[in-house]
Amino acid sequence: MLDIQFIREQSSRVKDAIRNKHAGEEDLVDQVLEADEANRSLTTRMQETQSAANQAARDIGRLMKEGLKDEANSAIEESGRLKATVKELEESQRVAQNALDELLLEIPNVPHESVPIGHSPDENVVAFEFGDLPTFSFPILPHWELTEKLGLVDFDRGSKVAGAGFPFYVGWGARLQRALINYFLDAAGTAGYTEIQAPLVVNADSARGTGQLPDKEDLMYEAVRDGLYLIPTAEIPVTNLHRDEIFSADDLPIRYSAYTPCFRREAGSYGKDVRGLNRLHQFDKVELVHFVTPKNSYDALEELRTHVENLLQELKLPYRRLLMCTGDMGFTQSKKYDLEVWSAGQERWLEVSSISNFEAFQARRMKIRYRPEDGSKAQILHTINGSGLALPRIVAALLENNQQADGSISVPDVLIPYLGADSIS
């Protein structure tokens, strides 16, 4: 959520953000300003009427002491009328504030000045590439054929038990999942992240706090009877961990890592992009979350990005870093990188991590603040998060890029201690 004062002073920038992010109609800003004006007008009237009511109450006592009974009775009547008006104005102001708050939830975050303006994924900027694309002297297979041949993933039985997009990982497939999760968590621990285990369901307030509501309702599985949502990412529970809290500046930065299964409906997905492990309804991911002061915000973004890129480099996966343009960013982000690994069997790039700075957008919704070192008024802190990493496409790329002529899969050195083997066959 943006600060209403920022919207008042920078309405043209906010309209640009809506247009460049394709996040609704620009006149929404005018609606917000009108609602803000109505709310402030009601607040002023309520305060003035309350002041008059207080003065009338004081006059009653004074007039009674002076023996001015008729005047005192008139003051009592006036006090009662003013109190009734205050009550009416309080209700009107409450309704106006709620209307303003609902409109503010529809306003997207403003992109950072370094974000390129664009309207489609084609306008994302390839900022960095790492590694040589693998070459093979034999015909290679996509991962869905490799997993079937080696008995690593059972898509058919997963579909029978739960539906498409809910696979079983079997034998070495399950062990590879566990190896990657432990490797990612251990690397985060070495880098100073505090590991936590988070709930796999959240309430509507939590989903609203990180910006999933109102925006991504169709992507989340909902337990309607209980008013809960299955998490599409650990970002939601982990960031909400400190909702309504105030830190001292000395407490920051705070950095968490969390492994969770994630659940996404992926409504409307079809074609080659969903085949095999490319796009699942349930998948495993290690999430990284930072709580930082505004002045350290963008340094922390680059720190998180560097950490995740180091994981890909240690896995020896060719990858590229994209700086996302405005039209391919999310509703909540001020700046976003995507990391994509090369899939040799599919001959295309697969997204495995999104790394984003939300500035104060999420924290303002959740009222997460910090008190500066000088002891001045508490301020909204900044939140940053990224996948470190999401497993399905990492597994797909590892299998495809490391397949051998004899049908086995070589294991990157960094994973051997976790997997207990240097190859899968």
- Which residue in the list 206, 208, 257, 279 is annotated as catalytic? 279
- Which residue in the list 305, 321, 365, 393 is annotated as catalytic? 393
Nearest to 184 by CA among 234, 241, 237: 234
Cβ pair 89, 42 in contact under 8 A = yes
Query: Is 279 noted as a catalytic residue in this protein?
Result: yes
- Which residue in the list 354, 365, 387, 400 is annotated as catalytic? 354
C-alpha torsion angle, residues 13, 119, 354, 169 (rounded to 10): 150
Exposed/middle/buried for 256, CB within 10 Å: 0-12, 13-18, 19+? buried
* Contacts for 199 with CB less than 8 Å, ≥ 6 apart: 231, 237
**From its phi and psi, is residue 163 left (phi > 0), alpha (psi between -120 and 50) or beta?**
left
Q: Which residue has 């709580």 as its token pair?
A: 291
Q: Which residue has 């002045």 as its token pair?
A: 295
Query: Is 19 noted as a catalytic residue in this protein?
Result: no
Cβ pair 384, 297 in contact under 8 A = yes
Q: Say which amino acid occupies 146.
A: L
Query: Is 321 noted as a catalytic residue in this protein?
Result: no
- Which residue in the list 264, 364, 365, 369 is annotated as catalytic? 264
Alpha-carbon distance of 381 to 369, in angstroms, equals: 5
CA–centroid distance for 117 within its chain: 21
> In the 3-class helix/strand/coil scheme, how is 298-332 assigned residue by residue?
HHHHHHHHHHHHHHHHHCCCCEEEEECCHHHCCCC
- Which residue in the list 351, 371, 410, 423 is annotated as catalytic? 351
CA–centroid distance for 320 within its chain: 22
Which residues partner with 387 through β-bridges? 287
Secondary structure E strands in 121-204: 125-130, 153-154, 168-169, 194-195, 201-203
Q: So which residues are the catalytic ones? A: 264, 279, 351, 354, 393
